[in-house]
Amino acid sequence: MIICVCRRISDREIARHARAGMGFDDIQFELGVATQCGKCEGCARDVVAQCNGACPSANISLGADLAQGQAWNTRSV
């Protein structure tokens, strides 16, 4: 799933970097996620937080908001 629409960055790509040991700031610098409109920052941080450790991307759950029918970018940060 695309997390950052502006930079076209997927959750898998963020998760891959997080599992490699990178923190959000490093991933942001490397990929450019959340560097334009910034609306994806909360979701991107959630992905990084869930992947700290050895969490496979299949376990990423951004579903809480989506299951409630809220758009990905409506969360307050």
Q: Which residues contact 51 (CB under 8 A, 6 or more apart)?
A: 14, 15, 18, 19, 57, 60
**5 contributes a contact to ligand FES by CB under 6 A:** yes
Rounded Cα gap, residues 3 and 48, in angstroms: 12
55 binds ligand FES (CB under 6 A): no
- CB contact at 8 A, 16 and 9: no
C-beta of 40 vs 54, nearer to ligand FES: 40
Of the pair 33, 60, the CB lying nearest ligand FES is at: 33
Rule CB under 6 A: which of 26-45 touch ligand FES? 33-40
Q: Can you tell me which residue has the tokens 């992905």?
A: 47
6 near ligand FES (CB under 6 A): yes
The residues of the shown chain that bind ligand FES, judged by CB under 6 A, are 4-7, 33-40
